[in-house]
Structure 1
């Protein structure tokens, strides 16, 4: 959900809720995979504006929600004041043997120090606790990001490639990191999940919401030119039956702390 590593908070929580509600909606499948039990203490890592944390609460669990975005946490607190939300970094959690489960939806692809995050998750769990997550995997939104990079390159802006904000591992790579951390990987899946984007400006809104850091240092005029060209070049491939569809590829994993 909310980005878990940032020096500045670029997240617009209102736009996230209005135009990108699909993130929480797809997370409902992950809740089923988590199968929360009454009385469990669960950490929602990267809780965003709190929708899935609130859903988990209905299973009579104790829920703690954390996210690095102050904007997201503020909105989560306003929407669900009965839930404990706080601003925290996934690579610097202080919890020790506290949770029956750590749940994370659409977050871990933002974390370019995956081992640091996994160690924090591992130490947060009780013995026998489980880690259940879904996030972008190898090839996720590759059609979109390749075209953005092509546009940067066409303008000689090769330095923008260094601002690529995501980590999209293969399932083998991430499972190996989990095992090195001490998890027993009991489930791992890499799926295609074409994702409709809301409205005629769906692709533009997606780029501005999630890819904004790639445009740091770029003038407003150049940014507009690049995004317009990306739309033009991708319309044939990603504009399907009257709407934009992003080429999402997701990893789902379950690991048990032994």
Structure 2
């Protein structure tokens, strides 16, 4: 459900250099408290690793993601699981699932209330919604530096149009959940400094996740900006020979009354 970047997603780069996304998601699975035989929807399933974990635990899981590149990779890796190209805003299921699970996805959806309505409708009465995604202040050090360097380089940048994420406060998001009808049982906002793999970890992160911010930059200008970003952030985000992204996450659990 990478709402803004769509099929610019590189599934190979995602699996090769950003496996931490799924690894951190394994902790979120504990909040599902899933039972064998349950029907669970994985929204923003990416290349399918967490869906497969659920499958191996006896869950009837379906994975959806807006990116066809991600879904094709998931189908190649786990052909025994149904994966479908679909946007969370296009969900039409009614009272179908015991739980809806989403890891590192909903910050890409800039219509959060509509997404929550679709999720709520897809759940059975008493069903649960378990999600984690970027919260207020997520990667702010990185994105502020990107915006500064774009401005200094004279590259057109509109935060309204090109900032691809929705990073709400815990109060903002839980209020939306309650307006839709969820009973919120867990709501956390926490810092999670996240290691990026290799000396090119920050550059790979920019290539993977920040494409929209650079869409008006030429290849040559983008490379120059990348170098400036690395130089300016090295003292802040580079430690013990690796880059550490300044992640801040929201984790929520809601019950459909």
Q: Structure 2 residue aligned with 1:30, among 23, 28, 43?
A: 28
Task: Answer whether contact 1:122 1:181 (CA < 8 A) is retained.
Answer: yes
Residues 219-244 of structure 1, C-alpha deviations (whole Å, 9 max, x = no match): 00110111110000000000011100
Task: Answer whether contact 2:4 2:108 (CA < 8 A) is retained.
Answer: no
| Residue of structure 2 equivalent to 1:164 | 163
Q: Distance in 2 between matches of 1:8 and 1:186?
A: 32
Q: Distance in 2 between matches of 1:130 and 1:8?
A: 27
9-18 or 156-165: bigger deviation: 156-165
Q: Distance in 1 between matches of 2:240 and 2:186?
A: 34
Shift of 1:62: 0.3
**What's the TM-score, normalizing by structure 2?**
0.97
Residue 7 of structure 2 aligns to a residue whose secondary structure is coil
Q: Distance in 2 between matches of 1:12 and 1:4?
A: 12
Runs of 4+, deviation exceeding 6 Å:
none
Structural RMSD (CA): 1.0
| Residue of structure 2 equivalent to 1:56 | 54
Residue 146 of structure 1 aligns to a residue whose secondary structure is helix
Q: How many residue pairs get matched?
A: 256
Shift of 1:217: 2.4
| Residue of structure 2 equivalent to 1:45 | 43
Unmatched runs of 5 consecutive residues or more in structure 2: none
Task: Answer whether contact 1:160 1:215 (CA < 8 A) is retained.
Answer: no
Q: Distance in 2 between matches of 1:218 and 1:158?
A: 8
Q: Distance in 1 between matches of 2:2 and 2:99?
A: 18
Shift of 1:74: 0.3
Task: Answer whether contact 1:4 1:107 (CA < 8 A) is retained.
Answer: yes
Q: Structure 1 residue aligned with 2:117, among 116, 119, 127?
A: 119
Q: Does 1:176 align with 2:175?
A: yes
18-27 or 159-168: bigger deviation: 159-168
What pairs up with 1:1-258 in 2 under 5 angstroms?
3-6=1-4, 8-161=6-159, 162-258=161-257
Structure 1 pair 225–46 and aligned structure 2 pair: CA distance change class (3 A): same
Unmatched runs of 5 consecutive residues or more in structure 1: none
Q: Distance in 1 between matches of 2:2 and 2:204?
A: 20
Residue 172 of structure 1 aligns to a residue whose secondary structure is helix
Residue 255 of structure 1 aligns to a residue whose secondary structure is strand
Task: Answer whether contact 2:147 2:157 (CA < 8 A) is retained.
Answer: no
Q: Distance in 1 between matches of 2:4 and 2:208?
A: 14
Residue 98 of structure 2 aligns to a residue whose secondary structure is strand
Q: Distance in 2 between matches of 1:29 and 1:198?
A: 20
Shift of 1:8: 4.4
Q: Distance in 1 between matches of 2:246 and 2:5?
A: 28
